[in-house]
Amino acid sequence: MTSLPADERIAGAGLLRRLLIRPELGSVVGAIAVFAFFSSQSPVFRSADGVANWLDPASTLGIMAVAIALLMIGGEFDLSAGVLTGTTGLVMVTLATKYGWNLWAAMLAGLVLALAIGFANGLLVVRTKLPSFIVTLGTFLMLQGLNLGVTKALTGTVQVSGLRRAEGYDGAQALLAGSVTVGGVDFRVAILWWIGVTALATWVLMRSRAGNWIFAVGGNEQAARAVGVPAARTKIALFMTTATAAWLVGSIMALRFTSVQANAGIGQEFIYIIAAVIGGCLLTGGYGSAIGASIGAVIFGMADKGIVFAGWDADWFKFFLGAMLLLATLANRLVRRYAEEVRR
């Protein structure tokens, strides 16, 4: 393999420039700042127990944020992703407790349903060419109604519970909702799932054909189609990916609490988008990173638990989240300007 000599014009400034246009940059700086801040406020925060504590909310959020980041890079939104975590959990618990299904079979049924909903979302967006914001807002509201209506009709209450008695619970619990002990500290096993999802998504984005297509359909769908990129297929697959992630998180949550509320997951959809945006995703698509979205989730987890560790009122959390979002979006806009500037 011959390597051509580097152009003399990219010497020196190249590294800094390359670093600056990384989509993750803002979130890395933000994460370091937030960690430093809460570490100085509370010694527990920086202890191993503390880390295990704030990595827990970061993990389930991170799995979703990574999937949403892929979708956003592909130029679409999914507002139904949050409520879908509730739907899949409800289906799984209902089938396992009320109808006596084996838990693994119930989980599989949840996956099939999630894939079907993701496919329907994608197909609607691709066929109607309506903004995905509207299409998935529609499915979001429909699922919200279904979750409540069906749960009430079947159980007479707004929750399903008793998963612990289901056949196959112990194995599934260990796999998705258990913990691993590292150096005497219990870490949730969901953290491993999160790391795995992030690694897989990063590989797909950076090192697979599909990754190239995702960037392309989000950057300029017409141009992508003109050079033979299967744009519709790519987008539908992305919606099915977020649905699969919602199923994974819904199953983790259901196994952890052994019950699911009918309103589970509602309101989370924006948190996923916020984490993805803090991680460098552009709202207009075509740019972003899976690692960035994961780091966005870490910031979220640190702030969520850090405020409690520091002994503050949890109300401050929302303020903090809003400020992070604004800062991140402003930083992203600068990056985009820089990347798109045309020198004539």
Partner 1 sequence: MTPPLLEAREIGKTFGSVIALRGVSMLVRAGEVTCVLGDNGAGKSTLIKILSGVHAQDSGEYLLDGTPVRLGGPREALDRGIATVYQDLAMIPLMSVWRNFFLGSEPVAGPLRRFDVALAKRVAREELRAMGIDIRDVDQPVGTLSGGERQSVAIARAVYFGARVLILDEPTSALGVKQAGVVLRYIARARDRGLGVVFITHNPHHAFPVGDRFLLLNRGTSLGQFDKDAITREELTSLMAGGAELDDLAHELDRHGVAGPAPAEGSAAEKEPVNGDEPPGQGAGGEPALGRRPVED
Q: In the complex, which residues of this chain contact partner 1 (CB under 8 A)? A: 1-4, 7, 9-10, 14, 18, 21, 203, 206-209, 211-212, 215-216, 219-220, 223-224, 226-229, 282, 286-287, 336, 339-344
**Residue 277 beta carbon to partner 1: minimum distance, rounded to whole angstroms:** 16
**Residue 215 beta carbon to partner 1: minimum distance, rounded to whole angstroms:** 5
3-class SS at 260?
strand
**Residue 227 beta carbon to partner 1: minimum distance, rounded to whole angstroms:** 4
Nearer to partner 1, 86 or 218 (CB): 218
Strand ranges, E, within 179-337: 179-182, 185-188, 259-261
Nearer to partner 1, 191 or 335 (CB): 335
**Residue 20 beta carbon to partner 1: minimum distance, rounded to whole angstroms:** 12
**Residue 233 beta carbon to partner 1: minimum distance, rounded to whole angstroms:** 13
Nearer to partner 1, 168 or 219 (CB): 219
Nearer to partner 1, 121 or 202 (CB): 202
Q: What is the dihedral sign for C-alpha 302, 305, 307, 309?
A: negative
CA-to-CA distance for 113 and 62, rounded, in angstroms? 22
3-class SS at 266?
coil
Nearer to partner 1, 203 or 316 (CB): 203
**Residue 208 beta carbon to partner 1: minimum distance, rounded to whole angstroms:** 5
Q: For residues 65, 45, 316 and 269, what is the CA-based torsion angle, rounded to 10 degrees?
A: 10
Looking at the DSSP bridge assignments, the partners of residue 180 are: 187
Nearer to partner 1, 3 or 181 (CB): 3
Return the structure tokens found at 332. 């992203």
Per DSSP, helices labelled H in the chain are 13-20, 25-41, 43-46, 48-73, 81-97, 103-128, 132-155, 169-172, 190-207, 209-219, 221-226, 231-257, 268-278, 290-309, 316-340
